[in-house]
Structure 1
């Protein structure tokens, strides 16, 4: 006599089309809107749209856990879109003289994000979950905060209080330093797995 698996024993399959991934994709479109607004010198509206995009970043992870819809695809999609959003906005801000964002700052952040995304894809391809670490999450928070401060300073223009520029510069430096640190932390964590796939010399 065969026994059918009940709901408690059946393995749940989660497709890639789900609410958390939809929120991640929505963030991509919000990022495109923010770029257009920056290009149009509508910094106040760009700030609002970027904040909404940052909120969806928090929501998709929470919803994925709440609905038990976490997937390997989502673990790669979410950080990839975060990187696209932050890198593209920073690149656009470099072109704004009063943004406080230097070309070297944007370069360091973009290079780190591309390298870590490649590393995450390598790990996921080997069946190893490679989610965000604490330093990586805080790095994203600081990067977003720095962008918000930069857009705020641009929107206020010459009437911006002195503390806005000081906060913007402090957040930018903190974001760059934590970006470098978290990149090193990811490499240290992935090194044993990378050595496993290396042929013996």
Structure 2
């Protein structure tokens, strides 16, 4: 057989399927991590207008990645873990930076409650989904995320304004306290709902 007719194992091999991670929703999720870094840098430099705009862009991308995951049927197990994790990084990080600025209405105990809740629920989500059990967002959790984003946006808006009207400051504080209350309530609801699964897992390990 002539040499040129010998099939090449490289050329004749079927193309490898592309990885499924870099789809539209996961790409938006990863880009949100970059936005988080920019938000933190802008707050540190006291560029509150930029911080506000970047944070709003991150919040919009959070809504879009879920929309595209459903529209394009590109939901992946890693994406379900990564999306809420990056949400917690940007929101918790923003609250940590804002708590260090006097007069923001964000207090250390609030940040502690938010960070502890987010770490606890993220660990619980990883445990249960690792066992093949669904751990989707509940209504209280979605409301919590919404009010956290509104709260951070309002705090940044007040800082950007410099001398805000009293009504804006009252709105900022109302949103922040509501966000904290929903954070604590939704965390308790998740723990209560996961109780049977946790007890079953503990019994299985005995």
Instruction: Normalising by structure 2, report the TM-score.
Output: 0.88
Post-superposition shift, 1:14? 8.0
Unaligned runs of 5+ in 1: 1-12
Alignment map for 1:173-188 (pairs within 5 Å)? 173-188=177-192
1:178/1:133 CA distance change after superposition, 3 Å: same
Q: Secondary structure at the match of 1:99?
A: coil
- State yes or no: 1:170 paired with 2:174: yes
CA contact (8 A) 1:14 1:69 kept: no
Which of the numbers 176, 192, 197 marks the counterpart of 2:196?
Answer: 192
Structure whose CA Rg is larger = 2
1-structure distance, mates of 2:157, 2:203: 52
- State yes or no: 1:146 paired with 2:128: no
2-structure distance, mates of 1:62, 1:42: 31
2-structure distance, mates of 1:25, 1:81: 8
1-structure distance, mates of 2:25, 2:44: 29
2-structure distance, mates of 1:155, 1:99: 11
The count of aligned residue pairs is 188
1-structure distance, mates of 2:66, 2:47: 30
Post-superposition shift, 1:186? 0.6
Partner of 2:98: 93
Q: Secondary structure at the match of 1:198?
A: helix
Instruction: Normalising by structure 1, report the TM-score.
Output: 0.90
Post-superposition shift, 1:15? 2.2
1-structure distance, mates of 2:106, 2:191: 26
Q: Secondary structure at the match of 2:29?
A: helix
With 180-189 and 48-57 compared, the bigger mean Cα shift is at: 180-189
Unaligned runs of 5+ in 2: 1-17
- State yes or no: 1:47 paired with 2:52: yes
Q: Secondary structure at the match of 2:202?
A: coil
User: Which consecutive segments of 4 or more residues in structure 1 shift more than 4 A?
Assistant: none
CA contact (8 A) 1:44 1:152 kept: yes
